[in-house]
Each structure stands twice: as C-alpha cells, then as structure tokens.
Amino acid sequence: MNTDQFPYAAPWWLPGGNAQTLWAALASRRHFGPAPTWTRSRWSTPDGDFIDVDQARHTSRSGAPLLVLFHGLEGSSASQYAVAFADFAATHGLAFAVPHFRGCSGELNHAPRAYHSGDFEEIDWILKRFATEHPGRPLIAAGVSLGGNALMRWAAEMGASAGQRVRAVASICSPLDLAAGGHAIGRGFNRLVYTRMFMASMVPKALKKLEQHPGLFDRTALLAARDLFEFDNLFTAPLHGFRDTPDYWSRASAKPVLHQIRVPALALNARNDPFVPAASLPTPQQVGRHVTLWQPGQGGHVGFPVAHGVLGLPGNVRAMPDAVGHWLLSHL
C-alpha cells in the first residue's frame, strides 16, 4: 500500500471544504485549451436498455491511452471535473470518454432501473466494450464520487482479472463508506444546499420513470422524501435489488473490499470534504498493497481549486486532473 500524497493547498481566499467545493462547481476555470467538444454514441446495454457515451473530439495519436471517466451523482460530460479531465487528455494526447450512467445524458433510459453507487456490473460491460472497440489503446479509468465508488467496487470484484481491462484505476472524492457519506449529506448545511440540489434533479427524473412504468413506487411517499436516505429507500434500493437504504449502503460500499483490488488503484479524498467524513476514510491497514491513498487536508468535494492570475483570482480546477492523470499514466 502506498501513501504518496497530492501536495494540494487551497487558495487563501477559499477557506474550508464548502467554499472549495462550491467555487469549483460554480465559478472555476475548467480548461486552458479549447472547450471540449464531443461525439455521442448510444450503446445498447446487455438488458436491452441504453446509455449514451461522449468521446472527446480532440486528436490523439494512434495507440495513445484511452482515459475513461465515470461521473458522479447526477453528473455528465458537462460537469466541471469532466471538462477539466478532457482538457488534461487533450494536452497529453490521450483519447478520452465519458460514459453516462442511465438517465444522466439528458434523455431518460427505458428500463425501470437507473444507476447506483455499487453498479460494478455496469462498469464491467462498459470497460469491456471500450477494450473491444479500442484494442490498440491501453485503458486507464477514473471515477468521481459515486462513479469512483462503483469503479473501486468493480476493481475489487474482478480481482486479478481487472488487469485484463485496465492498467490502473482512480477514485476521486468517493464516499467509499456510503453510510457515512449518506448521513453526512443529510445534516445541517449539507442538507440545506447539497441535498436540496440533488433532490431537485433526482425527484423529477424518478417521477418520469414512474410515468414510464406505472406502479413502480409510491408517488406520494417519494414526493414527501426530504433526503437521500428516504429517496434511496423508496427508489434506488428497491429498483436495484436491495432491501432498503441500509442494505444498499452496506452492500454497495467499496471500503470493505478495497483489500481485494489487484490492479494499481488510487483513492483521493480531501479530509475536509463536506460529503465524506474524514473518520470514514480508509486507513493503510484497510487496503491492500495495490491501493494508494491520497488524503490531503483540503480540497472539498471534487474541488481542489488552485489560484492563478492577478492576486490569484480566479481559480481553476486543473490541479486534481493533472495529479490523478499523471498518476494513472505512470502505471502504463
């Protein structure tokens, strides 16, 4: 197990995890080169549904690595971290792709199911297809928040065979202990800001899913849900084979199985992440020798803004993709 560190320090004008999180999401500079443009492909899923995959249009040399990024809860290729990773990939001549979890590409998927934090079966067939379509490119994969937990679950489930798909994986600000993260986001400021933001996106999509599949869940109860625990209890857990929220959060968490990973894996978590309590982060004793832990004191949730320009204003979010991207490339 490695404990190499990401030497991150936040700008003086962004104190605290909430400021670092919100600035990165709402106001930061995402790219230094041209804004990424995408070619979208629709892939049929093994169960007859579909996902949409965005592949960056910038040029990459033949045989250059393909970096696959799995987004976070209600994320997409438009999320600030996806744009920043696309900029990193363009700068270094890598191919880059963002597969959208079901229902996250702007069009509701057809099946009753959606996506969840432990969706390692979905990760598996997606990576298998990328490997099949790009046989001359070594694959590296990163996952942000929810996508990172699912990716680490996949790496643990696959064991040594994961190396047949990818050279290395990374999770970024992932709630590897879902119960700890789920309870944290349901309290105080987090409940007022982040929970409300996620629910404003997730509830309308769930109601459209109910229109597709009448009787799928209790509409009145869902409309009364006020946090992710209640939402997951009514929607996410039962639709994906879990008994209830505690069962889902327990069985889908990657932290208990990190020791099973057999490919180079990086877990980056800021210790001031509002969503992911520092006390819940994995320790060196809980992971195997293939896992590297980066746990800087600052950064927020998928933030890590850095200063540039006059007086260090405004900030950009390229530091994290640069650090994670170079770590992944070092394992080719």
The residues assigned a catalytic role are 145, 273, 301
Burial class for 151, CB neighbours closer than 10 Å (0-12, 13-18, 19+): buried
Distance CA 24, CA 44 (A): 33
Angle at which helices 120-133 and 146-158 cross, to 10° = 80
β strands within the chain, DSSP E? 38-44, 50-56, 66-70, 95-99, 139-144, 168-172, 265-268, 291-294, 306-307, 315-316
Going by C-alpha positions, the residue among 181, 95, 113, 195 that lies closest to residue 146 is 181
Token pair listed for 3: 């404990």
**With contact defined as beta carbons under 8 Å apart, do 255 and 174 qualify?**
no
Going by C-alpha positions, the residue among 331, 316, 326, 266 that lies closest to residue 296 is 266
Going by C-alpha positions, the residue among 84, 33, 27, 32 that lies closest to residue 58 is 33
Question: Other CB atoms closer than 10 Å to residue 103's CB: what's the count?
Answer: 23
Going by C-alpha positions, the residue among 253, 209, 211 that lies closest to residue 231 is 209
The residues, any chain, with a CB within 8 Å of residue 69's CB and separated by 6 or more, are: 81, 82, 85, 96, 97, 98, 141, 142, 143, 144, 147
Token pair listed for 135: 């046989």
Q: Left if phi > 0, otherwise alpha if psi is -120 to 50, otherwise beta: which for 179?
A: alpha
Q: What's at 307, amino acid-wise?
A: A
